[in-house]
Amino acid sequence: MASVSNAGPSAGMSADGAKVNMAFVAAIVAVATIGGFMFGYDSGVINGTQEGLNKTFNLTEFGTGLNVAAILIGCAFGAFAAGRLADVWGRRTVMIISALLFVISALGTGAAHTSTIFVIFRLIGGLGVGAASVLCPVYISEVTPANIRGRLSSVQQIMIITGLTGAFLANYVLAHTAGSSTAEFWLGLPAWRWMFWMQVIPAGVFFFALLTIPESPRYLVAKGKDAQAEAILSRLFGAGTGAAKVAEIRASLNADHKPKFSDLLDPVTKKIRPILWAGLILAIFQQFVGINIVFYYGSVLWQSVGFTEDDSLKINILSGALSIVACLAAIALIDRIGRKPLLLIGSAGMAVTLGVLTWCFSTATTVNGALHLDGSVGPIALVAANLYVIFFNLSWGPVMWVMLGEMFPNQMRGSALAVAGFAQWIANFAISFSFPAMAKISLSMTYGFYAASAVVSFFLVQKLIHETRGKELEAMEG
């Protein structure tokens, strides 16, 4: 990457008055958040391919849940391993590995001719998604000024949603052009296979873009490479400030020992530190509110209550577009009103909208073996679902990732991210895997559980989550 001057219109100011090379910061954030795009694309591409998967592999409800949720097991292990591997190999190196995993998964899932092979390649993709999900936000938090860290880290969520929307749009175009997701497209192969192969393009961009950005200076200091870290920080904040920040990081690291998993326990009580419990609550309840049911099963859900496949894919695109707008609002607010207020607003809004959806689905009737929402209930459900998506992406969507990237002290950040990331993806798997079977029993009961989780999350945030707005990473307390 070419050198960028610290002066001129590209320079901003940090909270302590130091100059910030905003052009360099923006370039780094832009590259790192392509990982968020891949996270969203790889997660969302399954939405729209399920009819093809069901017909090709002759899947039951259990099989559908496994094929959809298999990626999440990979995500859990990818997230768990990434935090520790990033402490050993570096943040950028592990992100490069994740980009390669995205390419391998895209090629393999599109070519799979058995459910087992498909699941294996989805697991491989999940390793990449899991790694990107925890490392991209923490990398951003480690190279950006504290006073704008929340806004820049929130770009990750916009890119996740952009990736999801990109997958929805690509799926719609391919299915619409071919006639349906199972109709033949290029080379005589069904459109649903091309939906997976399209991922190779952004995955390749991510890989080559990562080669242009530097390693995290905090990682370099931890490895004794102070000169390299100072060079990067000097480009970001100016020579004098760069040297001071290296000294700050070095003092923080010298005050403690080499990071290890036992750091997650209180040295006196030997119990899990409260800060880790807070991180686990954020990670788990972000999934218990059921957001990925909309992202993974949206097409199937809307078809199940009377919409056509074509209309259902359009609804997915609408939800994605509204999500992006909500994320932009979160970026405008997160460093002004703080993380905790946004979480509380999101929990309250999701509880109400999920409650409306629960009522809507409780009124559904069965017509020719399929659920049907009568009269005005269908439009009400559609509006409630999209308001729910807006509240999530205004709050829990971006804020959870921002807080996990910044809330833990340097000493335990890698280990805590490994555990919180693992918990987040296991919760995601549990919700996504169980949905087909639960929905078959009762769709209203299923959404009632998500609504109850939103209510519980409000009180847990109120009691256990502490504000991190404006704090330097070295100032975070265990």
Which carries the bigger pLDDT value, residue 239 or residue 249? Answer: 249
Rounded to the nearest angstrom, the gap between the alpha carbon of residue 208 and the centroid of all alpha carbons in its chain is 21
- Whole-number Å distance between alpha carbons of 105 and 114: 15
Mean per-residue pLDDT, 305-318: 75
- Whole-number Å distance between alpha carbons of 140 and 420: 18
Q: What is the pTM of this model?
A: 0.72
- What share of the chain in percent tops pLDDT 90? 26
Pairing of strands 11-13, 19-21: antiparallel
* Amino acid 239: pLDDT: 74
- Whole-number Å distance between alpha carbons of 54 and 14: 53
Mean per-residue pLDDT, 460-472: 80
Which carries the bigger pLDDT value, residue 8 or residue 298? Answer: 298
The per-residue pLDDT for range 224-233, each reduced to its tens digit, is 898 999 998 8
Q: What angle in degrees, to the nearest 10, is found between the helix axes of 274-288 and 396-406?
A: 160
Helix (H/G/I), strand (E/B), else coil: 367 = strand
* Amino acid 369: pLDDT: 63
The per-residue pLDDT for range 241-265, each reduced to its tens digit, is 888 888 888 887 776 556 566 677 7
Q: What angle in degrees, to the nearest 10, is found between the helix axes of 50-57 and 115-143?
A: 150
Residue count of the chain: 478
Mean per-residue pLDDT, 60-66: 79
Which carries the bigger pLDDT value, residue 121 or residue 266? Answer: 121
What 8-state DSSP symbol labels residue 16? T
* Amino acid 211: pLDDT: 93
| Token pair listed for 172 | 């719609």
- Of 197-206, 292-301, 399-408, the poorest mean pLDDT is in 292-301
Q: Other CB atoms closer than 10 Å to residue 243's CB: what's the count?
A: 16
Confidence label for 404 from pLDDT (cuts 50, 70 and 90): confident
- Summary mean pLDDT of the chain: 83
Contacts of range 53-58, beta carbons closer than 8 Å, 24 or more positions apart: 53/115, 53/118, 53/192, 55/182, 56/113, 56/190, 57/114, 57/115, 57/118
* Amino acid 351: pLDDT: 97
Exposure letters 347-356 (e unless 16+ CB within 10 A, then b): bbbbbbbbbb
The per-residue pLDDT for range 192-224, each reduced to its tens digit, is 899 999 999 999 999 999 999 999 888 898 888
* Amino acid 350: pLDDT: 96
| Token pair listed for 12 | 């901003």
Nearest by Cα to 131 from 162, 100, 161: 100
Confidence label for 473 from pLDDT (cuts 50, 70 and 90): low
Helix (H/G/I), strand (E/B), else coil: 142 = helix
Contact predicate 131/82, CB 8 Å? yes
